[in-house]
Structure formats: C-alpha cells, structure tokens
C-alpha cells in the first residue's frame, strides 16, 4: 500500500475543477460531501438515455432497471450485506419515519424503546412519537461534560419490556465513535433490536454492517460522495418481523418493502458510482483483488488514515487556543473528522461569517442535535461552529483554515 495519492483522489471530484469553488477550502462535509465523478456520470447518463419507466419491456427500460439493480448489488458488497437488505429512500429522516411506522405495528403498549440524547433528531423524534401509541420511551443520556455515552448504563436501562435501542455510530457534533459492535452484542444478549444511525460515520469509511451486528443501519449517501439518497440496511430477520411497508402487491420484492413512495430511479442508478469510485481508489493504491471484503476494508482504512493525518492539527489548534472551546474528544483516535467548537468572545455565526469571507466553507448551528446541545449547556439557537473534512481534504486546505481562524479570532 502507498500513501494516499491526493492528486488522484481530487481528480475524481469535479468540484475541485469548478471555477466558482476555486480558492475555497471545503470544511462542511458533514452537511454533504462533494459527489464523485462516477456518480455524476451515471446520473447524467440516466437522464440523457434512460429517463423512462424502468423494468418494462423496451431495452432502454430494461437497462434502466439493470442500473438500479446494480446499485443494490454493488453497495451491498461493500457493506457486507445482501442486496435485498439494502433500501434506498429519499433521506435518512424519511427512512426512520417509515421504520417507526413499521415498528408501531409490531410493538405493544407498555413495550420500551431506548433512545439517546446524542443522536441527530432523525433517530430520536420518530421513536418518541410512538408514545402516542402507549410505547414507553427511555433516554440513554450523555455525560454532560464530554457528550459521550457509557455502554455500561444500558445494564440498568434494559428491562424485560425493552424491545428496541436506537443510537448513533457517531455524533454529528461531538464526533465520538461509539463502540457499535459492543453495544449491539449487549442488546442482542438482552433480546433488544438495534437501529444504528451511521450518517456522521459513513463518509469516513463504509462499515462492515454484518460485523457490527446491527439489525438496522442507516446513512445518507449524499454525505458519502453519492446522490441525495438515504441508504438503510434492514437485515433479513428484522425485515420479516416488520413486514412489507410498501404496496401489498410488491411483497415479493424485498428491496421495495421500506421505500413505500417508490425509488428515485435516476439517483438509485447513480448510487453505484460511489462503489465505482471506491474500486478506482482501491486499484490505484493496492493490488487488484476480487475479494470484496478485502477491497472494502482497504478502502475504509485508506479513508480513515487520511483523516487521521490531518485531524490532530485542527484538534491541537482548537484545544490550545484561549479563545476557543472544543466540543468533543481531543483524541483523534476516538473520533471522526467533524470538529465542533465554541468561541469565548464570538458566536458560532460570527466566526463562520469571518471564515466564509476567507474562503472557508463551513457551518454554524445546532445541526439537528438540539437535545445533545441542551445536555451540554449549549444554546441550540446559536449552536456550534462545525468544521468537517474527509479524505480529499489537503494539507493546503488545513493551512488555509488555520490561518483563517487566526484572523477571525
């Protein structure tokens, strides 16, 4: 394996050649990454050549359906799940809403669901609404200083009535990586199903969902170099319990069970472009291999190592600056490259405004993690300044950011 070839990587993202983005350092990846070239090519091709109803008799229609099927096949391989376990809906928020409706018909009054106050609201609110149906909600709460969850607390939260645990792979604000495999194993031993929100994690490397042991795993492809879709893995056993949520006559098509509104044909067809990019990335840095698991693991490590090479610089800067407060762990090994911070003299919005004027694309706000910010004593109305990057971020980008922070402070 060679070090990440950043020139090759950035050549796979047309945004880096876009004149309107010239001189801009992109640090808002947690809100949505740049799309890789294969995704854009597939999407453009579909709208040019295949914009008719897929799966009908005409060759163009059949080709459209083939492209959509290929996306399920290719994505499932990198996630180590079955193609029919991959569901591509409009967003993660919509996918969790469908899930909650499905669980509403499985759970009974008095059953318990455990949610956290660390998650994005997409994996909290839909479950809390089930209280209207007599479902009891328990909250697994973060440490009010660190924002972290303690898995040991589940030992007291679990009861004979607990049926479901919804938690995040990593927070989109504090960025701490939760021990998902450990938590899922603990839940399984207690007879509890798990729904894991991986939105803030997947852009830093697709997980091996089978190895994690989650019953349901969700993330947003548009935050992982793809089109604006929410990807949801529902393991076979879980799907059979929840049942078909789509039209009754589509029951034989498992991948349609949890996408009741129907798929966005073009974007589903384009989704396979993410794996095209990962394959290109792999073959540029490693010997070619037909072992999908090995390929996925190599790419995952490549992405995570790239993050780890830059992350300490930003964490050290924020931790040591007297006018900044880091929100989340300072140890880069325990987190992803999403760094939230507070200014001691300026609001997040004031800091973001100054950074934007210096060519730093960033965000400020609550990022739909209102409950977490409240637990940490942060006003959700102002929220935090969030600086997030992925493997295509360069040392020059980081230098531009740190210099911009110097001027802003």
We report the CATH number of the domain holding residue 377 as 3.90.1150.10
Tell me if residue 39 falls in helix, strand or coil.
helix
Same domain? For 133 and 246 the reply is yes
Q: What are the pLDDT tens digits along the chain (409 aa)?
A: 568 999 999 999 999 999 999 999 999 999 999 999 999 999 999 999 999 999 999 999 999 999 999 999 999 999 999 999 999 999 999 999 999 999 999 999 999 999 999 999 999 999 999 999 999 999 999 999 999 999 999 999 999 999 999 999 999 999 999 999 999 999 999 999 999 999 999 999 999 999 999 999 999 999 999 999 999 999 999 999 999 999 999 889 888 999 998 999 999 999 999 999 999 999 999 999 999 999 999 999 999 999 999 999 999 999 999 999 999 999 999 999 999 999 999 999 999 999 999 999 999 999 999 999 999 999 999 999 999 999 999 999 999 999 999 999 9
Per-residue pLDDT at 155: 97
Same domain? For 78 and 22 the reply is no
Same domain? For 330 and 183 the reply is no
Q: Is 288 within a domain?
A: no
Where among 242, 275, 308 does a domain terminate? 275
Q: Is 409 within a domain?
A: no
In eight-state DSSP terms, residue 272 is H
- Given the DSSP bridges, would you call strands 384-388 and 25-26 parallel, antiparallel or unpaired? unpaired
Tell me if residue 385 falls in helix, strand or coil.
strand
pTM over 0.85: yes
Same domain? For 316 and 396 the reply is yes
Same domain? For 131 and 200 the reply is yes
Q: Is 113 within a domain?
A: yes
What is the CB-side half-sphere exposure of residue 244 using CA atoms within 13 A? 13
Same domain? For 31 and 62 the reply is no
Same domain? For 111 and 222 the reply is yes
Q: How far apart are CA 268 and CA 381, in angstroms?
A: 35
Q: Is 147 within a domain?
A: yes
Where among 245, 275, 305 does a domain terminate? 275
Q: Is 284 within a domain?
A: no
Per-residue pLDDT at 215: 99
Same domain? For 103 and 230 the reply is yes
Per-residue pLDDT at 392: 99
Q: Print the domain residue range for 299.
A: 6-35+295-404
Same domain? For 176 and 316 the reply is no
Same domain? For 233 and 198 the reply is yes
Where among 228, 245, 275 does a domain terminate? 275
126 in Cβ contact with 100 (< 8 Å): yes
- Given the DSSP bridges, would you call strands 324-327 and 230-234 parallel, antiparallel or unpaired? unpaired
**Helices 348-356, 395-408: inter-axial angle, 10-degree rounding:** 120
- Ramachandran angles phi, psi of 216, nearest 5°: -140, 135
> Residue 147: which of 205, 200, 224, 223 has the closest Cα?
200
Q: How far apart are CA 166 and CA 217, in angstroms?
A: 10
Q: Is 55 within a domain?
A: yes
- 297-86-232-75 Cα dihedral, nearest 10 degrees: 30
Q: Is 234 within a domain?
A: yes
Here the CATH number for the domain that contains residue 74 is 3.40.640.10
Per-residue pLDDT at 1: 55
Same domain? For 29 and 84 the reply is no
Same domain? For 89 and 184 the reply is yes
- 343-345-347-348 Cα dihedral, nearest 10 degrees: -20
Domain count, the chain: 2
Q: Is 77 within a domain?
A: yes
């Amino acid at each position: 394996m060679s070090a990440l070839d950043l020139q090759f990587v950035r050549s796979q993202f047309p945004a880096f050649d876009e004149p309107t983005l010239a001189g801009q350092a992109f640090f808002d990846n947690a809100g949505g990454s740049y799309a890789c070239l294969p995704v854009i090519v597939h999407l453009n091709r579909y709208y040019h050549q295949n914009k008719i109803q897929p799966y009908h008799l005409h060759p163009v229609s059949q080709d459209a359906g083939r492209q959509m099927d290929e996306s399920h096949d290719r994505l499932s391989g990198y996630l180590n799940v079955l193609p029919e376990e991959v569901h591509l809906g409009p967003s993660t928020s919509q996918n969790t809403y469908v899930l909650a409706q499905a669980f509403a018909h499985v759970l009974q009054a008095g059953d318990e669901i455990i949610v956290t106050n660390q998650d994005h609201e997409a994996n909290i609110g839909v479950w809390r609404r089930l209280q209207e149906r007599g479902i009891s909600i328990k909250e697994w709460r973060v440490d009010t200083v660190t924002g972290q969850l303690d898995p040991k607390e589940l030992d007291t939260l679990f009861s004979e009535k607990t049926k479901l645990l919804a938690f995040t792979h990593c927070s989109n604000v504090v960025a701490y990586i939760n021990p998902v495999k450990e938590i899922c194993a603990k839940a399984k031993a207690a007879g509890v199903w798990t729904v894991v929100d991986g939105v803030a994690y997947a852009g830093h490397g697709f997980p091996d969902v089978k190895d994690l042991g989650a019953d349901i795993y969700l993330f947003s492809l548009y935050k992982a170099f793809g089109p604006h879709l929410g990807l949801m893995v529902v393991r076979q056993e879980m799907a059979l319990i929840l049942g078909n949520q789509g039209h009754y006559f589509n029951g034989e098509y498992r991948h349609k069970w949890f996408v009741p509104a129907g798929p966005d044909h073009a974007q589903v067809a384009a989704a396979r472009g993410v794996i095209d990019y990962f394959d290109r990335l792999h073959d540029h840095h490693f010997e070619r291999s037909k072992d999908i698991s090995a390929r996925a693991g190599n790419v995952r490590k490549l992405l995570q190592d790239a993050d780890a090479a830059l992350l300490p610089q930003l964490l050290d800067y924020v931790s040591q600056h007297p006018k900044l407060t880091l929100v989340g762990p300072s140890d880069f090994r325990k987190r992803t490259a999403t760094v939230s911070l507070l200014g001691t003299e300026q609001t997040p919005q004031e800091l973001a405004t100054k950074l934007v004027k210096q060519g730093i694309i960033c965000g400020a706000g609550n990022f739909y993690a209102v409950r977490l910010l409240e637990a940490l004593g942060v006003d959700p109305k102002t929220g935090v300044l969030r600086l997030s990057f992925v493997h295509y971020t360069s040392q020059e980008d980081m230098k531009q950011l740190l210099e911009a922070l110097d001027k802003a402070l």
